[in-house]
């Protein structure tokens, strides 16, 4: 069963949604039959890649929120994070254009480490206060997951994954996805937002029941059988 997840690195609800989704999946008997594919999304592609802002500044300047309202919203999100096992540090978080970070995610996908890279980027951004638009910081994250330093530098310096990122974003637009996180379950159902683990568990179970065959062939090799074209031995 395939799960596609549209997400952006600087979205706190994406981090919360990831944790809740993973908590739900871990308790399900078919967890090893689930393939997760992370898809790129940019909440604010107009951000300057060279000028990071702190969270309060961003809400004031880009969203027009008074400082007090921005602080209240951040406090509420932090509380949601704690309930999901995430200790957000919004005082250190740097708001930056995430396109380069998405390059790293696509590189990690190539190595079968996209979920690990998502976690590493969320932690770097929301907890450690790292600049996830900085190439050297991103290369360091790649190396921490066993990805070759020179390969990471080449991927971040080139246009190798640009088309893949834009394709993810275009696919989201084509499917009417305007907010993240957004989870597509085996091409049949969708779950939007940072839902509780219980909601994810129910959705995953329903999707599995309706889209994955309940019959599993336990034989080691195909035996004699017949189909609409005849019989074979």
Is residue 222 in some structural domain?
no
CA–CA distance, 35 with 145 (Å, rounded to integer): 20
- Name the residue with tokens 């696509």: 106
Assigned domain for 35 exists: yes
Residue 231 bridge partners (DSSP): 226
Query: In terms of residue numbers, what domain contains 11?
Result: 2-212
Asked whether residue 85 is assigned to any structural domain, the reply reads yes
Residue 219 banded pLDDT, cuts 50, 70, 90: very low
Across the chain, what does the average pLDDT equal?
91
Count of domains for the chain: 1
pLDDT tens readout for residues 4-40: 999 999 999 999 999 999 999 999 999 999 999 999 9
Q: Please tell me the predicted confidence (pLDDT) of residue 65.
A: 80
Nearest CA to 97 out of 140, 73, 62 is that of: 62
Does 220 fall in a domain? no
Q: Determine the pLDDT at residue 228.
A: 45
Token couple for 61 = 């300047």
Burial 70-109 (b: 16+ CB within 10 A, else e): beeebeebbebbeebebebebeebbbbbbbbbbbbbbbbb
Asked if residue 219 belongs to a domain, the reply is no
CB atoms within 10 A of CB 44: 14
Assigned domain for 208 exists: yes
Q: Is the pLDDT of residue 79 over 70?
A: yes
CATH number for the domain spanning 21: value is 3.40.30.10
d(CA 125, CA 127): 6
Q: How many CA atoms lie within 13 A of 199 on its CB side?
A: 13
Parallel/antiparallel/unpaired status of strands 94-95 and 53-54: antiparallel
Q: Do 18 and 119 contact (CB within 8 A), yes or no?
A: yes
For residues 37 and 20, what is the distance between their CA atoms, to the nearest angstrom?
A: 16
233 lies in some domain? no
Q: How many CA atoms lie within 13 A of 67 on its CB side?
A: 2
Peptide bond into 181 cis (omega under 30): yes
CB atoms closer than 10 angstroms to residue 212: 13
Q: For residues 229 and 168, which has the higher predicted lDDT (pLDDT)?
A: 168
- Tell me the pLDDT tens digit for each residue of 151-205: 999 999 999 999 999 999 999 999 999 999 999 999 999 999 999 999 999 999 9
Residue 230 lies in a domain: no
**Residue pair 183/4 in contact by the 8 Å Cβ criterion:** yes
């Amino acid at each position: 069963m395939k799960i596609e997840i549209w997400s952006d690195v600087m979205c706190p609800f994406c981090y919360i949604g990831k944790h809740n989704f993973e908590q739900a999946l871990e308790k399900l008997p078919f967890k090893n039959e689930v393939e997760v594919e992370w898809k790129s999304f940019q909440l604010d592609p107009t951000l300057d890649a060279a000028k990071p802002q702190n969270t309060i500044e961003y809400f004031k300047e880009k969203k027009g929120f008074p400082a007090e309202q921005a602080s209240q919203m951040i406090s509420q999100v932090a509380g949601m994070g704690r309930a999901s096992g995430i200790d957000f540090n919004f005082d250190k978080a740097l708001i930056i254009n995430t396109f380069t970070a998405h390059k790293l995610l696509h590189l990690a996908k190539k190595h079968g480490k996209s979920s690990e890279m998502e976690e590493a980027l969320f932690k770097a951004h929301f907890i450690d206060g790292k600049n996830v638009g900085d190439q050297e910081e991103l290369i360091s994250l790649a190396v921490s997951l066993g990805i070759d330093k020179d390969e990471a530098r080449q991927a971040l310096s080139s246009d190798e994954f640009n088309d893949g990122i834009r394709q993810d974003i275009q696919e989201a637009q084509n499917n009417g996805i305007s907010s993240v996180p957004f989870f597509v379950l085996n091409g049949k159902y969708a779950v939007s937002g940072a839902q509780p683990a219980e909601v994810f568990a129910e959705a995953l179970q329903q999707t599995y029941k309706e889209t994955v065959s309940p019959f599993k062939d336990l034989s080691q090799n195909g035996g004699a059988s017949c189909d609409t074209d005849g019989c074979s031995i």
